[in-house]
Amino acid sequence: MSVATALVEKLETRLPKVIDARTHGIIDYCHAAFFFGMALVCRKSNPRAAMAAAATGGFVLVESLLTDYPLGVKKVIPFSVHGQMDAAFAASSFVMPKLFGFADTPAATVFTTNGFVEGSVVGMTNWDSDDARAEEREYAAGYAAEGSMAAD
């Protein structure tokens, strides 16, 4: 186990659980958009980093669309499993620059930083799927109530 992976694991277990499922979903979609943007920016100057960024953005987007949380679309991945996938992905962010062959470039720093940020988000998220379902029901009830008030 690398030092970076050990640090991510410590972050995951020691941080307060202050991020709910809806907020985590927002972070996920922003995360995907960031890496798609990075892929565009790096496409000519660092094609290997661009490929890794596009793969990262694609993975995060598909994972988000398929997760059973308030902003998921298909809802086939339990929220708690999404958390396990995020933890593994945070750890893999440290090796992606080496795997894709851009370890000694500024783009590699983005992936290293992503590993720590992703590990922090994983550590601060409440992964209880029942809470995520309850949160979605509350939001839907509030949204329905707003819609009925607007119709009045």
46-98 pLDDT, tens per residue? Answer: 999 999 999 999 999 999 999 999 999 999 999 999 999 999 999 999 999 99
Q: Which residues pair with 125 in a beta bridge?
A: 19
d(CA 124, CA 19): 6
Q: Which residues pair with 19 in a beta bridge?
A: 125
**Closest-CA residue to 83 (of 118, 109, 133, 51):** 118
Read off the pTM: 0.81
pLDDT of residue 7: 66
pLDDT of residue 152: 56
